[in-house]
């Protein structure tokens, strides 16, 4: 092997180590969320008509000052229980401060607490009212005289909050809950009981942590602006502006979402600004400024969604909120894969078995194409093996003249009607299958249906398998089975007989792939590893079949 090839070989090994280290960091434990800091005062973010873009820039604060929170402002918690969740409303601000999902547990333990979409660490948005020449409280101290323990009945439930400011200004807020729905409706009415016209503007501010620590752990800011979905998964370095019609925005992880849906037409603006270096970010949105004549009122409304990233539930909320689900690069194909997986699971009621059955079905569907590909590669291998003595002779004859050696080899291939790259043609049927397998990959990675689904010794198919630790490293059976099955499949797959040193090097490099991918897949969800392992095992069976159909020749 010449020096250049040796350098390339060493470079490959170094890059492999970097990949392994990078994946270890990629799948590291997500940073713990810190208590949110105080968000800056919301800024004007109005957009030019018809403009839709994402920009960065500075925010200009309005001169209006907030009235300080007084000790007389009482905070009362109203608990609302639905068939799907238990919510907590704080009268100070009139906002959601707690939202626990009844059908989703935080862990797989039987005594696990429910998933908290909103809690002290993951706060909901706050609506802020500003009035020109008036000092307004940042958190409106609403009064409420009803029961603090409510149940959402068949006809729904309305929670009515009122605040009256000395001088005639009053604010009413109605929060409407619906049975069997994860969204609520909120209406804010500003009544001008003064003797003059007032100019007011309603702002929405929301702060939360944004981070990404591998495919298993992330908390992102998601928005849809003028029909385009934007995702922010990493800590910000500067403020982002999203100009255009705001369809919705919010914060969420792989499986759950909290979202604000303005329910208003026209153009608005949305900003997202960094609050610290560790991922805390603040989002802000403003409704158009309104003038309210003396004795008149102004109403504005919106929807809020706090629930799972389950497409039917999201679609019920409207405004294409189902697009908050990350279906990866395959898009529509991933949706089809999710539907197919659910369809199969309707028969087996176990997603582990369903993954195996669906993988087998896909292999059966593509079996004719796979056979064609494997036979083509096997035929090329047999032809190349017959030429091996002549190839070796040319390598020895022109060992000091690589360019002449390559030219003579090409003449040898041409004279024997062999194209050394023809084996790539046999891969074309496999390339046709690639989008399907990518779609299934993302379906298994992001489908909430796999969350806390067990299979044999695997407790949760949506998480990495974890039996026990060895020297601090989690021991996992499925990734090891995947690596072994990959190795067996590779050993049975025909490799073009050695010709040039470059081809020999490529063959040697391929031998490391099962090891590298075993390490890379070590922290991926078990459902994905199960799919890949079954796929490898089926590949072994298919290759054994082809090897019997097209026996070895030459030598």
Which phi and psi angles does 92 have, rounded to 5°? Answer: -80, 95
**Are residues 354 and 498 both part of a single domain?**
yes
Is residue 50 one of the residues assigned to a domain? no
Query: β-pairing, 77-81 with 169-177?
Result: unpaired
- Residue finishing a domain among 283, 301, 326: 326
Residue-level pLDDT at 423: 52
Q: Are residues 353 and 241 in the same domain?
A: no
- Assigned domain for 472 exists: yes
Q: Are residues 233 and 377 in the same domain?
A: no
Give the pLDDT of residue 186. Answer: 95
CA distance 73 to 497: 82
Any domain includes 143:
yes
Tell me which of 297, 326, 355 is where a domain ends: 326
Q: Global pTM?
A: 0.75
- Token look-up 């999203």 returns 242
Q: Is residue 448 part of a domain?
A: yes
Residue 31 lies in a domain: no
Distance CA 122, CA 258 (A): 9
C-alpha to C-alpha distance for 460 and 451, rounded to whole angstroms: 7
The answer to whether position 5 is within a domain reads no
Structural domain boundaries, residue 191: 77-326
Structural domain includes residue 54: no
Same domain (yes/no): 361, 304: no
475: helix, strand or coil: strand
Rounded CA Rg of the chain: 31
Q: Give the 3-state secondary structure of residue 514.
A: helix
For residues 392 and 276, membership in a common domain is answered with no
The CATH number that applies at residue 291 is 2.70.98.90
User: Does the residue 29 lie in any domain?
Assistant: no
N-to-C CA span, the chain: 23
> Tens place of pLDDT for every residue, the chain, 555 residues?
444 433 443 444 444 444 443 444 344 333 333 333 333 333 333 333 333 334 433 333 333 444 454 545 678 999 999 999 999 999 999 999 999 999 999 888 888 899 999 987 777 888 888 888 788 888 899 999 999 999 999 999 999 999 998 888 999 999 999 999 999 999 999 999 988 998 988 888 888 888 766 555 678 999 999 889 999 888 888 888 888 888 999 999 889 999 999 987 555 678 898 888 888 888 988 888 889 999 999 999 999 999 999 999 999 999 999 999 988 877 888 889 889 999 999 999 999 999 999 989 988 888 887 777 777 776 777 777 777 788 778 777 777 777 887 787 778 777 777 766 555 554 555 566 678 778 888 888 888 888 888 899 998 888 888 888 888 888 899 999 988 988 887 777 655 545 555 556 666 677 778 888 888 888 888 888 898 899 889 888 887 887 777 665 554
Q: Identify whether residues 297 and 351 lie together within a single domain.
A: no
The Cα–Cα gap between 507 and 88 comes to: 61
Residues 422 and 495 in one domain: yes
Residues 294, 297, 303, CA angle at the centre, nearest 5°?
Answer: 155
DSSP string, 483-500: HHHHHHHHHHS--PPP-S
Q: Is the C-alpha dihedral spanning 75, 78, 79, 80 positive or negative?
A: negative
Q: Which residue has the tokens 């189902």?
A: 322
> Are residue 229 and residue 86 in the same domain, yes or no?
yes
Per the structure, the count of domains in the chain is 2
Q: Are residues 107 and 238 in the same domain?
A: yes
Please report how the helices 367-386 and 351-365 are oriented relative to each other, as an axis angle in degrees rounded to 10. Answer: 60
State whether 188 and 311 are in the same domain: yes
> 357 and 458 share a domain?
yes
**Which domain-ending residue is among 262, 292, 326?**
326
The DSSP secondary structure of 385-425, one letter per residue, reads HHTHHHHHHHHHHTTT-HHHHHHHHHHHHHHTT--TTHHHH
Given this model, what pLDDT does residue 445 score?
80
Residues 406 and 490 in one domain: yes
């Amino acid at each position: 092997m010449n020096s250049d090839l040796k350098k390339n070989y060493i470079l490959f090994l170094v890059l492999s180590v970097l990949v392994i280290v990078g994946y270890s960091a990629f799948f590291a434990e997500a940073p713990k969320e810190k208590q949110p800091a105080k968000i800056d005062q919301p800024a004007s973010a109005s957009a030019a008509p018809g403009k839709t873009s994402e920009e960065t820039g500075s925010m200009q604060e309005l001169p209006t000052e907030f009235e300080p929170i007084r000790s007389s402002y009482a905070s009362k918690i109203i608990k609302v229980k639905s068939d799907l969740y238990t919510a907590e409303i704080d009268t100070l601000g009139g906002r959601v401060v707690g939202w626990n999902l009844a059908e989703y547990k935080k862990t797989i333990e039987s005594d696990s607490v429910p998933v908290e979409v909103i809690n002290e660490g993951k706060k909901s948005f706050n609506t802020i009212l500003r009035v020109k020449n008036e000092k307004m409280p940042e958190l409106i101290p609403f009064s409420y005289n009803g029961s603090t323990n409510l149940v959402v009945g068949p006809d729904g439930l309305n929670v009515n909050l009122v605040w009256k400011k000395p001088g005639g200004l009053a604010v009413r807020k109605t929060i409407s809950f619906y049975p069997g729905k994860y969204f609520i409706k909120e209406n804010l009415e500003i009544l001008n009981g003064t003797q003059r016209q007032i100019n007011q503007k309603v702002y929405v501010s929301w702060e939360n942590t944004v981070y990404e620590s591998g495919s298993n752990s992330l908390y992102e800011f998601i928005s849809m602006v003028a029909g385009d979905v934007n995702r922010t998964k990493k800590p910000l370095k500067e403020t982002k502006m999203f100009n255009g019609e705001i369809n919705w925005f919010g914060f969420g992880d792989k499986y759950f979402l909290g979202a604000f849906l303005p329910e208003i037409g026209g153009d608005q603006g949305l900003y997202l600004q960094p609050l610290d270096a560790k991922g805390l970010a603040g989002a802000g949105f403003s409704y158009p400024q309104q003038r309210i004549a003396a004795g008149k009122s102004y109403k504005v409304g919106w929807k809020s969604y706090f629930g799972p990233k389950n497409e039917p539930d999201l679609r019920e909320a409207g405004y294409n909120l189902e697009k908050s689900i990350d279906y990866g690069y395959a898009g529509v194909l991933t949706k089809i894969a999710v539907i197919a997986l659910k369809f199969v699971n309707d028969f087996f009621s176990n997603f582990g078995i369903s993954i195996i059955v669906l993988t087998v079905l896909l292999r059966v569907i593509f079996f004719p194409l796979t056979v064609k590909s494997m036979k083509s590669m096997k035929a090329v291998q047999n032809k190349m093996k017959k030429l091996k003595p002549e190839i070796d002779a040319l390598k020895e004859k022109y060992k000091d003249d690589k360019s002449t050696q390559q030219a003579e080899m090409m003449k040898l291939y041409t004279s024997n009607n062999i194209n050394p790259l023809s084996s790539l043609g046999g891969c074309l049927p496999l390339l046709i299958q690639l989008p399907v397998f990518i779609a299934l990959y993302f379906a298994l990675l992001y489908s909430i249906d796999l969350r806390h689904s067990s299979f044999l010794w695997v407790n949760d198919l949506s998480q990495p398998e974890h039996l026990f630790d060895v020297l601090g490293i989690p021991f996992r059976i499925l990734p090891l089975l995947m690596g072994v099955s990959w190795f067996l499949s590779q050993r049975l797959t025909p490799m073009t007989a050695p010709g040039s040193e470059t081809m020999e090097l490529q063959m040697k490099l391929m031998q490391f792939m099962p090891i590298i991918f075993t390490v890379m897949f070590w922290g991926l969800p078990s459902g994905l590893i199960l799919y890949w392992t079954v796929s490898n095992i089926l590949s072994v069976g298919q290759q054994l079949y082809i090897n019997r159909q097209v026996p070895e020749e030459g030598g």
